[in-house]
């Protein structure tokens, strides 16, 4: 497993992240000008060929015995690997300042029952930055199995408790939570179960058989990236030699908080992600090096 030197907490740091002090002045000022995530978000669409991904999925199911291993597992494992190589995409804005997140947290929505009216819940996994695809699979499987049990999850319990609070008091309670989160003093147990805090939120529209959407970011919490992907698609493309080739792919739609890093860095991160997905077998091994964010 990944071993990183524990940094000493300094004035201005939060329990969930360390304040970045070496950024250029414009980066430091932008969160005060672009105050909310939704008014600071950019949308980006990409397509990913799935022939190699599906071969990899068959390998993991048939040879490694990972029942139910699918595209969601590959995408999450690839994004975690991308964070290990391009750590700035794991930053977040808190209290109008930019922080490097201390951990990796991935949120996803799952159905407790595979029915049209089945209840949904949100699960969160916290993999190491050098996690393999197998480790991502086991983390997701554990949380999914817990969500399908008879007892409700911590997230469901918290949501139910808030539901019982009268509207006016609930409005004050949410304001109090937002204020605590602004100053980085939200109770740790709430941050741990909150779907609004994390490195990324990912959702599958493909399981519903519909195209993906640009999903908004949440102004409460710290999630800077939302990824939505759709059903498998086919297209026929003209090749340079005049032949026509069938292409099988999925569409990824990203909503990105532009304040955490610049467009060039985002572009290199997405290219890194695409390269990983071209050869997903690299997810069976740990990366040669895990890179740290700047000071």
Tokens of 2: 């990944």
Nearest by Cα to 204 from 64, 109, 89: 109
The CATH architecture annotation of domain 17-283 reads 2-Layer Sandwich (3.30)
Contact partners, residue 277, CB within 8 Å, separation at least 6 = 48, 52, 53, 74, 75, 78
Residue 295 pLDDT grade (very low, low, confident, very high; cuts 50, 70, 90): very high
Spans of all domains in the chain? 17-283
Whether pTM > 0.85 for this model: the answer is yes
Beta carbons within 10 angstroms of residue 117's beta carbon: 6
Residue located via tokens 């003093």: 185
Higher pLDDT, 261 or 148: 261
- pLDDT tens, 3-29? 455 678 899 999 999 999 999 999 999
Mean pLDDT along residues 197-208 = 91
Q: Of the ranges 109-118, 164-173, 261-270, which one carries the lowest mean pLDDT score?
A: 109-118
The 10s digit of each residue's pLDDT in 208-244 is 778 899 999 999 999 999 999 999 999 988 888 888 9
Q: Looking at residues 53-72, what average pLDDT do you find?
A: 96
Which one is predicted more confidently, 167 or 184? 184
Q: What is the rounded CA–CA span in Å between residue 204 and residue 227? A: 9
Q: What is the structure's pLDDT at 159?
A: 73
The Cα angle at residue 114 between residues 248 and 153, in degrees rounded to 5: 115
pLDDT exceeds cutoff 80 at 155: no
Mean pLDDT check: name the lowest of 75-84, 104-113, 157-166, 185-194.
157-166
Average pLDDT across the chain, whole number: 91
Distances (CA, A) of 239 to 235, 247, 275: 12, 11, 21
Q: Please state, as a whole number, how many other Cβ atoms lie within 10 Å of the Cβ of residue 84.
A: 21
User: Which of the four pLDDT bands, split at 50, 70 and 90, describes residue 146?
Assistant: confident
């Amino acid at each position: 497993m990944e071993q990183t030197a524990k940094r000493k907490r300094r004035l201005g740091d939060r329990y969930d992240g360390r304040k970045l002090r070496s950024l250029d002045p414009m980066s430091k000022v932008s969160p005060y000008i672009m105050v909310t995530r939704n008014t600071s978000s950019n949308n980006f669409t990409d397509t990913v060929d799935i022939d190699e991904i599906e071969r990899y999925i068959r390998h993991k199911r048939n040879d490694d015995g990972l029942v139910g291993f699918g595209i969601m597992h590959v995408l999450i494992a690839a994004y975690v690997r991308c964070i290990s190589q391009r750590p700035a995409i794991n930053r977040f804005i808190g209290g109008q300042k930019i922080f490097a997140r201390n951990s990796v947290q991935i949120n996803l929505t799952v159905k407790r029952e595979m029915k049209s009216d089945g209840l949904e819940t949100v699960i969160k996994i916290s993999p190491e930055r050098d996690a393999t695809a197998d480790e991502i699979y086991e983390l997701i499987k554990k949380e999914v199995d817990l969500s399908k049990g008879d007892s409700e999850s911590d997230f469901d319990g918290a949501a139910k408790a808030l539901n019982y609070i009268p509207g006016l008091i609930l409005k004050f309670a949410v304001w109090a939570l937002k204020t605590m989160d602004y100053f980085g003093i939200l109770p740790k147990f709430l941050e741990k179960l909150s779907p609004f805090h994390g490195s990324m939120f990912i959702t599958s529209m493909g399981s519903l058989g519909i195209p993906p959407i640009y999903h908004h970011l949440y102004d409460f919490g710290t999630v800077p990236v939302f990824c939505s992907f759709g059903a498998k698609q086919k297209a026929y493309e003209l090749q340079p030699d005049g032949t026509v080739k069938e292409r099988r792919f999925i569409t990824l739609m990203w909503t990105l908080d532009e304040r955490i890093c610049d467009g060039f860095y985002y572009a290199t991160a997405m290219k890194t992600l695409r390269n990983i997905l071209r050869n997903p077998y690299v997810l069976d091994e740990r990366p040669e090096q895990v890179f740290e964010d700047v000071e």
